[in-house]
Chain A
Amino acid sequence: MKRARQAQIVRRLFLIGCSIFAAIFVLASDQPVVRIEPTDSVGPRTLEKQTETAVIRDYLKAWRGLSAALEQNSADLLDRDFVGTAREKLAGTVQDQAKLGIQARYLDDTHDIQLVFYSPEGLSIQLVDTVEYDMQLLDHEKIQTTQHVRARYVAVLTPTEVQWKVRMFQAESE
């Protein structure tokens, strides 16, 4: 009896220790690791460094917006970073999730981004991102699963008044 109790205490302490260690690890690596592939040629238009930086900054921000929208089931959170087809489709997912009582938490760990096309008139820029993220599924606030995912996304961004917004966002087979 006493032995079982001791084992239980040791197990609890072990779990707490793991949690603290993991929390320290997570706090130290809050931002996703981002790798940018060299962009010698992205098609018909020369890509300035400033444009490249802005596009990647806004794309990564869009991931945070996506994550917040799908976790809180709030389509309004997509407005800052998404337009057009991408916004419509993601908003559809948010609506379906809310209807079904589902939440999905997407946490991007790493991005390996390559800019692949900059249109001649400068109105669209396309990138391919091999992204690794954790997805946690909750049904009526009960965790159903947590999965580590690796997927390749194709995104098309277009310029708006003050930033680039994601117009197309779609995963493809690796």
Chain B
Amino acid sequence: MRSRLSILFASLIWIASAQAVAQTNGLRLPKTIEAGTAFSIPSTGSGKAVLYIVGPGQVLRREVQLGEPAAFASGDLHNAGHYLIVLVGGSSTENGAFDVTAANQPAALSFIARPSRLPVDLHDGISGVAYVFDRFQNLVLQPTQVSFQLSGAAGVPQMRTVLTRHGVAWTKMDSASKEGAAQFEARVGNAEGKRVIQQVPGDPCRLRMNARASGQRMTLETEPVRDCAGNAVPDGTIVTFTETYTGGEATVDVPLKRGIARTEMPAYNGATLSVATGVVLGNEIHWGKGQ
């Protein structure tokens, strides 16, 4: 609030005291300049003046000779943005403005790929976002084509070409049906970004167990546990065996070892045995005489 007031008062004083100052707005300026390119600003009159190029992105101050163009070398003004140009001479102030746009040639990408690990066979499970920059780290706001590619050890690579909007392009890809690392790549011109996506087996698809007598006990063993695409579910995944018998229930949690879960439980005649892992329920066995 204080600075707003101070600007206002200062402006009033400045306006009141600068009756002799003419603001001709006579600066002949280009409407836009490409970031990092050389340019010059012509001036009229004679004598010395100070030229300011001011914006939040950059500020330049030059002492110039009126009547001669003020030359700026390539790279002098490299941050894209809106700039005010102020030429302050002995008895006059001229104002103007121009925009500095990002260089046409994309030079860098900021590529965000998520997630880094996901189950196989997931539709639109992988997302990629690419921001396109020029060599001065200006966001290239002109629509630009970005190519996305997801390729793994197996299967055909997925490819998409997306036009940027406000400097950003995004896409979604499916995870492959086979487990393993996939390379997710975004490319624009010579700039590229690469990320590795780990594709892991999904939930078990089918769970089956067998039971066999072993003295007073019985041995329960699953068939190799796989997801719906046939990938082996990782070792360590917990499989729960449950035995329900007259007057009680017993539960055993067993981690998968080499794709199989195995345990021993007391053999009660008439018991019902079930198996489950995660949200997947397997087959039931009714244990009776003769088994």
Return A24 CB to nearest CB of chain B, in Å. Answer: 11
Cβ A124 vs Cβ B57 within 8 A:
no
CA–CA, A135 and B53, complex, Å: 12
Cross-interface CB contact of B59 among A93, A147, A169, cutoff 8 Å: A93
Chain B residues within an 8 Å CB radius of A15:
12, 16
Given A117-B166, A121-B112, A168-B131, A71 and B54 contact (CB-CB distance below 8 Å): no
Chain B residues within an 8 Å CB radius of A90:
56-57
Cβ B8 vs Cβ A26 within 8 A:
yes
Interface flag for B168 (CB, 8 Å)? yes
Cβ A170 vs Cβ B114 within 8 A:
no
Interface flag for B122 (CB, 8 Å)? no
Chain A residues within an 8 Å CB radius of B56:
66, 70, 90, 93, 104, 106, 169, 171
Chain A residues within an 8 Å CB radius of B166:
116-117, 126, 128, 154
Size of the chain A interface, CB-CB below 8 angstroms = 57
Chain B residues within an 8 Å CB radius of A160:
none
Cβ A43 vs Cβ B170 within 8 A:
yes
Return A44 CB to nearest CB of chain B, in Å. Answer: 6
Chain A residues within an 8 Å CB radius of B138:
170
Interface flag for B123 (CB, 8 Å)? no
Interface flag for A27 (CB, 8 Å)? yes
Chain A residues within an 8 Å CB radius of B99:
171-173
Cβ A154 vs Cβ B3 within 8 A:
no
Cross-interface CB contact of B3 among A105, A121, A144, cutoff 8 Å: A105
Interface flag for B32 (CB, 8 Å)? yes
Given A151-B82, A172-B101, A120 and B93 contact (CB-CB distance below 8 Å): no
Return A68 CB to nearest CB of chain B, in Å. Answer: 8
Closest to A117 in B: B168
Interface flag for A7 (CB, 8 Å)? no
Interface flag for B20 (CB, 8 Å)? no
Interface flag for A56 (CB, 8 Å)? no
Q: Which residues of A (61-95) have their CB < 8 Å from a CB of B?
A: 66-67, 70-71, 85, 88-90, 92-93
Cβ A146 vs Cβ B59 within 8 A:
no
Cβ A89 vs Cβ B3 within 8 A:
no
Return A151 CB to nearest CB of chain B, in Å. Answer: 4
Size of the chain B interface, CB-CB below 8 angstroms = 53
Interface flag for B5 (CB, 8 Å)? yes
Interface flag for B271 (CB, 8 Å)? no
Cβ B168 vs Cβ A102 within 8 A:
no
Interface flag for A145 (CB, 8 Å)? yes
CA–CA, A104 and B56, complex, Å: 9
Interface flag for A10 (CB, 8 Å)? no
Closest to A173 in B: B99
Q: Which residues of A (1-26) have their CB < 8 Å from a CB of B?
A: 15, 18-19, 22-23, 26
Cβ A135 vs Cβ B114 within 8 A:
no
Cβ A136 vs Cβ B10 within 8 A:
yes
Given A19-B9, A124-B129, A147-B95, A154 and B50 contact (CB-CB distance below 8 Å): no
Given A15-B16, A85-B137, A168-B139, A120 and B172 contact (CB-CB distance below 8 Å): yes
As a 0/1 sequence over residues 117 to 129 of chain A, the CB contacts with chain B under 8 angstroms (1 = contact) are: 1011101101010
CA–CA, A161 and B141, complex, Å: 29
17 A-B residue contacts at CB 8 Å?
Answer: A93-B56, A96-B60, A102-B61, A104-B56, A105-B3, A119-B129, A119-B168, A124-B112, A126-B168, A145-B88, A145-B95, A156-B139, A170-B81, A170-B102, A171-B57, A171-B80, A171-B82
Extra A-B contacts (9), CB below 8 Å, given A137-B86, A143-B14: A15-B12, A30-B4, A43-B170, A100-B59, A119-B112, A120-B114, A126-B166, A145-B88, A172-B101
Chain B interface residues (CB < 8 Å from chain A): 1, 3-5, 7-12, 14, 16, 31-32, 50, 52, 54-61, 79-82, 84, 86, 88, 93, 95, 97, 99, 101-102, 112, 114-115, 127, 129, 131, 137-139, 141, 165-168, 170, 172
Q: Which 5 A-B pairs have the closest CB atoms?
A: A171-B82, A120-B127, A121-B114, A151-B82, A171-B81
